[in-house]
């Protein structure tokens, strides 16, 4: 069997755009939904072609050039709310639902496009004086022509912590409104706080448990709308479960053969749980 083909996305940074659009990949969004074409077997495909091939229905307005995927230029843009999408073979797809219906490189590209469009949409006016902003040359930043304030695309860090104990169990929690779904513990990084400090604090705040032997496990961009998830594993050190009721509806220790409903495979939290479960099954 041939090894899987690794696709390569090269970001355009500093931001710049080529003049030609032949063979381009287009990512048109409307209300946070990406427009894609129906494919085979439940898959969908991204739109390809030059700008003229999009026609009047999908004509790009202020497209953002993102870079190249396997050499093909990639553009993202937003459609107005009144755009007619009565086009055969097209569908609107949310980013969460898009997972598994395109390959990994295209999914990452769609997430990147979504975040940059969100940034452009939310940064048109200065946060200091309220006046219009303009692009900061050579970056994705926006500069206020009135007061000179410069801002850059937001990336909000959040930690995930997979906690295990000496009995080889995993600590999972369910938030209010989740029903029967459980996940590992998570929380946003506070100003002046390291990732490791955040991980320890969130676990103790949310479930009353002190952890040790904290180790980095991986990270994942999470474009909902602009997070970066940083995963850690940690071992139970001491403490009894005491829930922060505003954040946690229920928490418990689970074994590999009795796991509850888990997050979807898209999320780093689920991938970390699957890795832990698989490690036990391979013993």
pLDDT of 209-236, one tens digit each? Answer: 999 999 999 999 999 999 999 999 999 9
Instruction: Please give the pLDDT value at position 177.
Output: 95
**Residue 78 token pair:** 């937003």
Domain over 9-122 is classified CATH 1.20.1260.10: no
Which of these ranges, 42-56, 64-78, 143-157, 207-221, has the smallest mean pLDDT? 42-56
> Widest CA span of the chain, in angstroms?
64
117 has a pLDDT exceeding 80: yes
As a CATH number, domain 156-278 is 3.90.79.10
> Would strands 185-188 and 142-144 be described as parallel, antiparallel, or unpaired?
unpaired
Same fold, 9-122 and 156-278: yes
**Residue 145 token pair:** 């022509």
- 31 vs 85: which has the higher pLDDT: 31
Tens-digit pLDDT profile for residues 180-216:
999 999 999 999 999 999 999 999 999 999 999 999 9
- Using CA atoms, how far residue 265 sits from 105, 153, 261, in Å, is 16, 27, 12
**Residue 196 token pair:** 């490791």
Instruction: Please give the pLDDT value at position 44.
Output: 92
Domain spans of the chain, in order of start: 9-122, 156-278
Cα Rg of the chain (Å, integer): 22
Q: What percent of the chain has pLDDT over 90?
A: 79
Instruction: Please give the pLDDT value at position 140.
Output: 96
Tell me which residue of 58, 55, 51, 94 sits closest to 74, measured CA to CA: 51
Backbone phi and psi for residue 61, each to the nearest 5 degrees, phi listed first: -115, 120
Mean pLDDT to the nearest integer, 56-85: 85
Instruction: Please give the pLDDT value at position 267.
Output: 95
Tens-digit pLDDT profile for residues 125-137:
999 999 999 999 9
CA 283 to centroid of chain Cα atoms: 33
Mean pLDDT to the nearest integer, 56-72: 90
**Band of residue 85 on the pLDDT scale cut at 50, 70, 90:** low
């Amino acid at each position: 069997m041939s090894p899987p083909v690794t696709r390569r996305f090269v970001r355009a940074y500093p931001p710049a755009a080529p003049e030609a659009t032949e063979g381009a990949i287009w990512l048109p969004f409307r209300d946070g939904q990406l427009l894609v074409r129906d494919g085979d077997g439940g898959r969908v495909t991204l739109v390809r072609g030059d700008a003229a091939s999009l026609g009047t229905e999908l004509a790009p307005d202020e497209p953002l050039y993102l870079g190249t995927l396997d050499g093909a230029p990639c553009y993202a843009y937003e459609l107005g709310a009144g755009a007619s999408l009565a086009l055969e073979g097209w569908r609107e797809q949310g980013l969460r639902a898009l997972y598994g219906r395109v390959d990994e490189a295209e999914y990452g590209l769609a997430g990147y496009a979504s975040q940059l469009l969100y940034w452009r949409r939310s940064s048109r006016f200065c946060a200091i004086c309220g006046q219009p902003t303009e692009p900061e040359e050579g970056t994705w930043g926006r500069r206020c022509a009135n007061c000179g304030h410069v801002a850059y695309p937001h990336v909000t860090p959040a930690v995930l912590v997979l906690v295990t104990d000496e009995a080889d169990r995993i600590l999972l929690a369910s938030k209010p409104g989740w029903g029967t779904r459980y996940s590992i513990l998570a929380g946003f990084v506070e100003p002046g706080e390291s990732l490791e400090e955040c991980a320890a604090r969130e676990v103790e705040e949310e479930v009353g448990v002190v952890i040790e032997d904290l180790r980095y496990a991986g990270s994942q961009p999470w474009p909902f709308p602009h997070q970066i998830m940083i995963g850690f594993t940690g071992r139970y050190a001491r403490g009894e479960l005491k829930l922060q009721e505003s954040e946690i509806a229920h928490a418990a220790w689970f074994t590999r053969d009795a796991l509850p409903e888990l997050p979807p495979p898209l999320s780093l939290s689920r991938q970390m749980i699957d890795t832990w479960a698989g490690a036990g099954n391979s013993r």
